[in-house]
């Protein structure tokens, strides 16, 4: 039986290939970085197995490293490593069938016209396919490190799929041979390739040779003195470990001596790929001990909500022989996590003070993560609360303010921090709940995501001031001049009694309002701990469950409002019409409060009222 087999690429991979082959013409040199990065990963995996000492390894004497060969005459470039290699199944799985979660996100980013450049490739973990930007044919020769596994040759010209066949006499590891296209032959020139590799080779922790001469002296940038690292070195390091050609939003390079001894270099990518949907970012912070890699993309080093960070952490206190599994839930890891998280949040607070505009860029990309942190993490909640920003009634539209700034602006007679949830600034400003704040000149935060209310509910207070939903604020408008026709206390009391009996069971207390200036009425739910928006959000998330009990709001009316004065008159002349009008007023108020669950009876009544209004007078 011949072992030569032809395969087609999985559909999504085929799509990625089509884009790579036909539409990426700029920055094509990133393919070198991607292939060297894969070679380094393979070496890293082998070194880890070797350190474990439990599995037998083929050709144990072969030194771990990466060799690059440029053949100008043949027009080929070969990137070889003595890492783990691949078995036949791994070849099929890794290079042809299983789409990484990033594949879909990559396709979406390109389809969204977000940007179409080679920089996207590594970012989404589809780095191997970048080879097809420059090669008309790619050959992968590979020998797994597992003794007894045969060697394989994988070839593809991109479009038509790939072929796998047996190979023989290969050294351990993988060789990627690229037959370059006519317009990319520059990559078969030693000087050209060397120039590219040199820029980041020092961050690869294995020797890299090009045509036999050693390129790099292994350097751990994070372990070097900050003052001696150049911007260029930082930039290239980030490109290499972050697979990202955009300048990061933030960089934090620091060392601590106690209680843990940490050296760390962290980056915040310019783009949060999660905002594109479809993908969940995974932390890309590598854990080292005295420059030796303990775990790439270490789990548990940071809380989930800081999963966007990229970089390196080096901690001298880690025992070198510990297994990754044991490490993940060790007390040391927890202490490391706590120390790193606090340090990073402190850094963000400092940066936000230094350059608010830069912080805003960060906030736009990562506010969801900070809010996730507030909901998930008691320990860092106070530090996170300082990092929140909201639109507000006293800052210009489109600008954001912090809770600390809010508190600093509070007039003496204001005791609490107030917010409203509103789809827009205009809606917030015209809401009946806002009237009392406008009258008292109290600032109100505008939340534009209903989830924000859960976040503030969790924060609870800031600087000793309770954070309160505007609709629940116990505030009164300052004394207003009497208006013509307004109800006096006695009339208002009678109307309240009548309203209570007319509206019946659906209402709790009916009172005159002390916080309305221009609206006729408002509804407010005081007893239930969920506000109107919270109820709506919960319902939307979980349509079938009826666990939010029925609400029975209070109804407040404005005795100075002409509509209310008319109602008081008409209820003596036309009780039927008055009852309908009262019910409608109440529904309007409940609607504004997000407390009206089923609008159908209201529409029915509206139609009846319309019919009445439109009936020709006899
Ligand atoms: P990523 O590196 O983000 O996983 P790539 O497209 O760059 O995505 O690589 C796909 C997979 O192919 C890798 O995860 C790895 O399993 C395998 N691979 C690629 N190059 C090598 C190599 N030189 N040695 C061993 N495995 C490799
Ligand atoms: Mg890769």
Alpha-carbon radius of gyration of the chain: 33
Residue 383 is assigned to a structural domain of this protein: no
Range of the domain at 337: 221-372
Same domain, 40 and 162: yes
Q: How confident is the model at residue 1 (pLDDT cuts 50, 70, 90)?
A: very low
The token pair at 213 is 């001469």
Which of 239, 231, 241, 235 is closest to 204 using CA atoms?
A: 241
Q: What is the CATH number of the domain that holds 240?
A: 3.30.230.80
Per-residue model confidence as pLDDT tens digits over 187-200:
999 999 999 998 87
Same domain, 125 and 234: no
Mutate to test the pocket of ligand 1, among 41, 156, 175 (most ligand atoms within 8 A of CB): 41
Same domain, 526 and 588: yes
Please report, in angstroms and rounded to a whole number, the separation of the first and last CA atoms in the chain. Answer: 99
Per-residue model confidence as pLDDT tens digits over 193-237:
999 998 878 778 899 999 989 988 767 899 999 999 999 999 989
CB 477, CB 515: distance < 8 Å: yes
Q: What is the CATH number of the domain that holds 465?
A: 3.40.50.11260
With a 6 Å cutoff on the Cβ, whether 128 touches ligand 1 is: yes
CA 39 to ligand 1: nearest atom:
23
- Mean pLDDT score across all residues of the chain: 89
The token pair at 220 is 């751990």
Arithmetic mean of pLDDT, 365-387: 96
CA 81 to ligand 1: nearest atom:
23
Higher pLDDT, 461 or 259: 461
pLDDT for residue 67 is more than 80: yes
Q: How confident is the model at residue 457 (pLDDT cuts 50, 70, 90)?
A: very high
The partner residues of 446 in beta bridges, in order of sequence, read 391, 420
Arithmetic mean of pLDDT, 609-617: 87
Same domain, 119 and 10: yes
Lowest mean pLDDT among 368-372, 383-387, 541-545, 594-598: 541-545
Residue 479 is assigned to a structural domain of this protein: no
**Residue 52: its H or E element:** helix 30-52
Residue 384 is assigned to a structural domain of this protein: no
Mutate to test the pocket of ligand 1, among 12, 46, 87, 128 (most ligand atoms within 8 A of CB): 128
Residue with tokens 């806002």: 434
Same domain, 49 and 188: yes
The total of other beta-carbon atoms located within 10 Å of residue 569's CB is 13
Q: What is the pLDDT of residue 537?
A: 67
Per-residue model confidence as pLDDT tens digits over 127-180:
899 899 999 999 999 999 999 999 999 999 998 899 999 999 999 999 999 999
Distance set, CA 241 to CA 26, 204, 245, 549 (Å): 21, 9, 11, 51
Q: What is the CATH number of the domain that holds 583?
A: 1.20.120.790
How many domains, in total, are found in the chain? Answer: 4
Same domain, 189 and 281: no
C-alpha 434/C-alpha 437 separation (Å) is 5
DSSP string over 183-204: GGGGGGSHHHHHHHHHHHHTTS
Same domain, 123 and 30: yes
Neighbours of ion ligand 2 (CB under 5 A): 38, 127
Per-residue model confidence as pLDDT tens digits over 316-348:
888 766 666 677 778 899 999 999 999 999 999
Same domain, 183 and 76: yes
Collect all residues with Cβ–Cβ distance below 8 Å to 242 and sequence separation of at least 6. 123, 248, 267, 269, 284, 310
Alpha carbon nearest to ligand 1 atom 10, residue = 94
CB 268, CB 246: distance < 8 Å: no
Same domain, 182 and 124: yes
Q: What is the CATH number of the domain that holds 127?
A: 3.30.565.10
With a 6 Å cutoff on the Cβ, whether 92 touches ligand 1 is: no
Same domain, 446 and 529: no
Which ranges constitute the DSSP H helices of 142-229? 190-201
């Amino acid at each position: 039986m011949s072992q030569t087999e032809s395969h087609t690429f999985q559909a999504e991979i085929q799509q990625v290939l089509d884009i790579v082959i036909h539409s990426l013409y700029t920055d094509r040199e990133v393919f070198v970085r991607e292939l060297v990065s894969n070679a380094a990963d393979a070496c890293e995996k082998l070194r880890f197995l070797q350190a474990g000492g439990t599995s037998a390894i083929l050709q144990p004497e072969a030194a771990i490293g990466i060799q690059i060969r440029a053949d100008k005459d043949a027009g080929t470039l070969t990137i070889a490593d003595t890492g783990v290699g691949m078995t036949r199944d791994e070849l099929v799985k890794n290079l042809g069938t299983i789409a990484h979660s990033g594949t879909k996100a990559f396709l979406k980013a390109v389809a969204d016209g977000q940007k179409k450049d080679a920089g996207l490739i590594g970012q989404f973990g589809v780095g191997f396919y970048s080879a097809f930007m420059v090669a008309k044919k790619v050959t992968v020769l590979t020998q797994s490190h597992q003794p007894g596994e045969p060697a394989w040759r994988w070839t593809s010209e991109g479009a038509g799929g790939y072929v796998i066949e047996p190979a023989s006499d290969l050294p351990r590891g993988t060789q990627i041979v690229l037959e370059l296209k006519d317009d990319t032959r520059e990559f078969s020139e030693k000087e050209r390739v060397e120039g590219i590799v040199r820029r980041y080779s020092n961050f690869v922790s294995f020797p890299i040779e090009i045509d036999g001469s050693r390129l790099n002296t292994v350097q751990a940038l994070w372990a070097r003195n900050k003052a001696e690292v150049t911007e260029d070195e930082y930039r290239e390091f980030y490109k290499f470990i972050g697979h990202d050609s955009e300048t990061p939003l933030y960089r934090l390079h620091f060392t601590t001596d106690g209680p843990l001894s940490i050296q760390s270099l962290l980056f915040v990518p310019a783009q949060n790929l999660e905002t594109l949907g479809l993908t969940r970012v995974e932390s890309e912070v590598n854990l080292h001990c005295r420059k030796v890699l303990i775990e790439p993309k270490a789990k548990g080093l940071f809380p989930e909500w800081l999963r966007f960070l990229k970089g390196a952490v080096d901690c001298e206190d880690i025992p070198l022989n510990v297994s990754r599994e044991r490490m993940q839930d060790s007390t040391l890891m927890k202490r490391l996590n706590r120390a790193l998280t606090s340090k990073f949040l402190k850094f963000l607070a400092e940066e936000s003070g230094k350059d608010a505009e830069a912080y805003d860029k960060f906030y736009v990309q990562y506010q969801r993560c900070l809010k996730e942190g507030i909901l998930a993490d008691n320990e860092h909640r106070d530090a996170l609360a300082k990092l929140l920003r909201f639109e507000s009634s006293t800052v210009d539209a489109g600008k954001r303010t912090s809770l600390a700034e809010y508190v600093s602006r509070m007039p003496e007679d204001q005791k609490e921090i107030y917010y409203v949830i509103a789809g827009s600034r205009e809606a917030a400003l015209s809401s009946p709940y806002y009237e009392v704040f406008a009258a008292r000149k109290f600032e109100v935060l505008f939340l534009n995501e209903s989830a924000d209310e859960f976040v503030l509910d969790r924060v609870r207070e800031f600087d000793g001031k309770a954070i309160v939903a505007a609709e629940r604020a116990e505030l009164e408008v300052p004394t207003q001049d009497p208006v013509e026709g307004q109800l006096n206390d006695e009339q208002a009391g009678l109307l309240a009694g009548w309203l209570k009996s007319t509206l019946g069971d659906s209402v709790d207390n009916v009172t005159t309002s002390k916080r309305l200036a221009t609206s006729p009425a408002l509804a407010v739910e005081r007893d239930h701990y969920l506000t109107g928006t919270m109820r709506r959000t919960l319902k939307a998330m979980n349509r079938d469950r009826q666990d939010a009990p029925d609400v029975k709001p209070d109804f407040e009316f404005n005795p100075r409002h002409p509509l209310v004065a008319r109602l008081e008159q008409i209820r003596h002349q036309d009780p039927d019409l008055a009852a309908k009008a009262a019910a409608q007023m109440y529904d309007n108020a409940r609607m504004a409060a997000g407390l009206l669950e089923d609008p159908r009876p209201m529409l029915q009544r509206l139609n009846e009222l319309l019919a009445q209004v439109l009936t020709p007078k006899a």
